[in-house]
Structure 1
């Protein structure tokens, strides 16, 4: 009897061990759907390298003991191409997708994932959004199957205008943005927040231009100068920001730029030393975060001769590893349940995936373009310049309310 009891106890322990680490060693495919061609191709190229680099890092350290494998698809910045990529990914057994460049693309993917999951129980897909920042995705269009690891447009504008409220030299603002949902939202929240915090500030001009199509921004700079604007607010990214600041330098515009994406490929080179002290970026990170992040950035630069700036990649792998360990599964349904409300430490401190809308709550940082120095030494694109932190906004300061009415499985 004693022998039998010992055998039963051993069997229970073994079963518990297998259950706890059922996914150990399992390969988790992650479909990356973003541009590798066209004007935004260089941005996508940098970001897939970032995902591959950190997949390797987290394969060695994630608590779920799984192996992450990136499966890249070039969507050409097109919603239609993205839907084709999603189908191809599912055909390859992918059950996790990541995307970030273009809220128009993200919107199409959210809708497609929702429909697929409703029609195919047991084969659900989870969408991990690392850079598409339209606030609607965690408000009116919120989805159980979508989690955002970037701060949305409203959060960034809340922090940015909190800083601008104290800048007495900001008197006349020009809004220049890309003509799609993100650009519209930047303009909308800029006007609303400035009206509330600085009603004396004048909006002296507003333009929306085609996404990733404009090659010469000189006419826009001429309009900005003619308006008398001392400040430009823009959510432009990639070539649309790089070419804008290049035109500003060449056109002799000396006002300030408040941006979201100064760190992104091509913009540091376009700025050079011309925007010193006049170009600001609001975001959840910057080049000089310190600690492990700086070590990773140096290693990334050595390996790829490129700069690491999409820090949300670290959030994604942190969250996946910890939620899979908590769920004791790689099933997207169980992982989503584990990820809701999860708090974890990442490169910018403790963050929380808000359960009500799946919007990551995290600190934001305002940084300014200046010469690299001993305190802030990282120099992107070998410019001799850097983004140095000016102000930190704790998560509760930048947080914005949500109208999300989450529909959950079952």
Structure 2
């Protein structure tokens, strides 16, 4: 019996070794290779020319008009960048032929009805192969329903609600690469638990579903990782508030050591600016207060000590990541004109960074599927593992189509490697994926 067990064990080891070798080889292929990147020196987002003919079409759903048009401006840049790079490489292999990437805009206008109309036009008239977007979980849900109805892949890349991929809302055509509110909450709590410096937190968030959900996720994260920490107060303000003094005064009086906020711009920038004007020098733990143009109005001293939690933060010590960033920054310095010549677009970090890496991943999945047939794409993307330009590991959980990944934190300092006008991150702290997992939804339970 002992000999038999040894023989079986030896055979099992050989099988395991072979399996790991094959898996490693496969994973090595599912990666962005900086050496394969095209010469981007001729890329200009203001003059991107869509190819014609039999193309692979991305339907870019964003706000392209009205007060929120800056969103469309930003994500046009990232999507056009990826398309330009892939097109100069010859396109992607789809249904037996190389196809160039075409990007077609769909203006959601920040409204559910407009979102539905734009998504249906992209699918029914423009015949796009994939829908990409969008900011706002209520709008993303509209697109999910369109994707399911017409059986087209939706790359849900910008909305964070845990409910989007829960048992009720999940559909097999939607894949979420954006991190979730639960991941934000656990990332923040784990970072401060490891830091063991501050224990008293005050929450200031926007008074709508996302603000409350994010605050709840942070409180749950503290209970899990940092039970000795204390929430000394919390407030929720209207969107686009003008006066933050009542909330900031209470936060200062509470004895808080950190203010946690999910405020996005312009609220986030105004919150910090008014805090400094009122003499409230508390640090803000945040996910959106990293927009350089807004921070420049506050200056280096006022932005010191901000702690940004994110799914993409530039790392000066990452060789491949910096090689990619240099290609981008060289164009920003020498070629791009308004609106792409402001501080916001100087480096491909934060929102720009994860939009880029997730779009490269999506196109890589389609090419490996060898088809725009949604059923074939689903089989490839479910359970897929992909490595980004700077070596981040992204995994698409098969049972609910949400992304498992490391997350990051950085404390803003001055001077820093990125900006002369503001404080920004320097040292990057990694929160392992297993410490900030998305809530299980879809078909996981």
User: Normalized against structure 2, the TM-score is what?
Assistant: 0.76
Q: 1:147 to 1:276 in 2, by over 3 A?
A: same
Aligned equivalent of 2:373, options 316, 321, 331: 331
Q: Is the 8 A contact 1:282 1:367 kept in 2?
A: yes
In the alignment, does 2:404 pair up with 1:361?
yes
Aligned equivalent of 1:138, options 157, 162, 165: 165
Q: CA deviation at 1:41?
A: 3.0
The residue number in structure 2 matching 1:3 is none
The residue number in structure 2 matching 1:248 is 275
In the alignment, does 2:329 pair up with 1:268?
no
Q: Is the 8 A contact 1:96 1:332 kept in 2?
A: no
Q: Structure 1 CA distance, aligned partners of 2:110 and 2:127?
A: 23
Aligned equivalent of 1:207, options 235, 252, 259: 235
In the alignment, does 2:358 pair up with 1:316?
yes
The residue number in structure 2 matching 1:217 is 244
Q: Is the 8 A contact 1:327 1:334 kept in 2?
A: yes
Q: CA deviation at 1:339?
A: 1.4
Q: CA deviation at 1:366?
A: 0.6
Q: Is the 8 A contact 1:275 1:369 kept in 2?
A: no
Q: CA deviation at 1:38?
A: 4.6
Aligned equivalent of 2:109, options 73, 76, 79: 76
Q: Structure 1 CA distance, aligned partners of 2:134 and 2:269?
A: 18
Q: CA RMSD in A?
A: 2.5
SS at match of 1:105: helix
In the alignment, does 2:63 pair up with 1:29?
no
Q: Structure 2 CA distance, aligned partners of 1:292 and 1:359?
A: 29
- Deviation per residue, 1:155-177 (Å, 9 max, x gap): 12212211111444423211122
In the alignment, does 2:272 pair up with 1:229?
no
Q: 1:60 to 1:335 in 2, by over 3 A?
A: farther
The residue number in structure 2 matching 1:164 is 192
Q: Structure 2 CA distance, aligned partners of 1:181 and 1:66?
A: 41
Structure 1: gaps of 5 or more residues: 1-24, 118-123
Structure 2: gaps of 5 or more residues: 1-52
Q: Is the 8 A contact 2:58 2:101 kept in 1?
A: yes
Q: Is the 8 A contact 2:204 2:234 kept in 1?
A: yes
The residue number in structure 1 matching 2:131 is 97
- Deviation per residue, 1:366-394 (Å, 9 max, x gap): 11111244xxx222xx6243222331123
SS at match of 1:144: coil
SS at match of 1:273: helix
Q: Is the 8 A contact 2:311 2:406 kept in 1?
A: yes
Q: 1:178 to 1:103 in 2, by over 3 A?
A: farther
Q: CA deviation at 1:271?
A: 4.1
SS at match of 1:274: helix
User: Normalized against structure 1, the TM-score is what?
Assistant: 0.82
Q: Structure 1 CA distance, aligned partners of 2:66 and 2:207?
A: 18
Q: Structure 2 CA distance, aligned partners of 1:363 and 1:109?
A: 27
Q: Is the 8 A contact 2:205 2:237 kept in 1?
A: yes
- Deviation per residue, 1:16-60 (Å, 9 max, x gap): xxxxxxxxx841221222223455433432222222122211223
SS at match of 2:326: helix
Deviates most, 337-346 or 216-225:
216-225
- Show the 5 A alignment for 1:319-398: 319-349=361-391, 350-373=393-416, 377-379=417-419, 383-398=421-436
Q: CA deviation at 1:258?
A: 0.7
Deviates most, 223-232 or 142-151:
223-232
Q: Structure 1 CA distance, aligned partners of 2:285 and 2:369?
A: 41
In the alignment, does 2:324 pair up with 1:293?
yes
